[in-house]
Amino acid sequence: MGEGSAETPIKGVLVGKKVVVFDRERARDLYFNEGFYGKFYAISKPKTPNVERELELSLLDALYLVEKGKLEVEDASGSKVSPETLRQLGRETYENFDEVYAVYRDLRDKGLVVKSGMKFGATFVVYRLGPGLEHAPFLVHVLPYNSKLDPIEIVRAGRLSHSVRKRFVIAFVDEAGRVGYLQFKWLM
C-alpha cells in the first residue's frame, strides 16, 4: 500500500446495494494485497496486478472491512454510512443475511478468500490462496440452523461439487451464535 495508507481507511461510496472504491490504487491494493475483496468493473478475473479500474464491493465485503477499520463508506451526499446501515441493506438483499455474514466473517477471520458461489448454486466459493492463484477447493452453502436437509438437494450439491472438483460444505450458525461446518464427501 501507499505511504500512510495503513492507518487511513479506504474510502468507499454506497451506490445502490454495492460499495465502490473509486481510488484505483487503493482498489488494486485491496484486491491484490489485502485478500481479493470485491471485483473490478468490466474485468471478471484479473490476471495481472496492473488493473486500473474501480472496485465494487459486496455488502458482505464492505461490512467486514468497515468492522476491521479498513474501509469508510459514504453515501452520494458524502455522509458517513454506519455498519448498522450496511447490515440493514444486507438484510433487505439476502434472505438470511445475519447467518450468511457470520459465516463470511468466520471464513475471512480464518484467512480464507470468500467469493460469491452463485454460479455453483452455493452461497460461497472459498479459496485458500485466491482466485487466479488456485481453483477454489470449497463450495460453502449457508443454511439456517433449524432447517431440514432435503436428501435430493444433498445429492445434487454433492454431484455438482464433485463434477467441479470442490468439497461441498454446509455452514450454519447455532443458537449460541457459533459457526459450524458439515462437509460432505463421496465414499467411493
Catalytic sites, residue numbers: 127, 135, 166
* C-alpha pair distances (Å), 90 with each of 18, 26, 60, 83, 114: 10, 24, 8, 10, 16
- Amino acid identity, residue 80? K
62 close to 69: Cβ distance less than 8 angstroms: no
Residue 68: CB atoms within 10 A of its CB come to 13
- Cell readout for 21 is 472504491
69: left (phi over 0), alpha (psi -120 to 50) or beta: left
First to last CA, the chain: 47
Torsion of CA 44, 123, 32, 35, to 10 degrees: 180
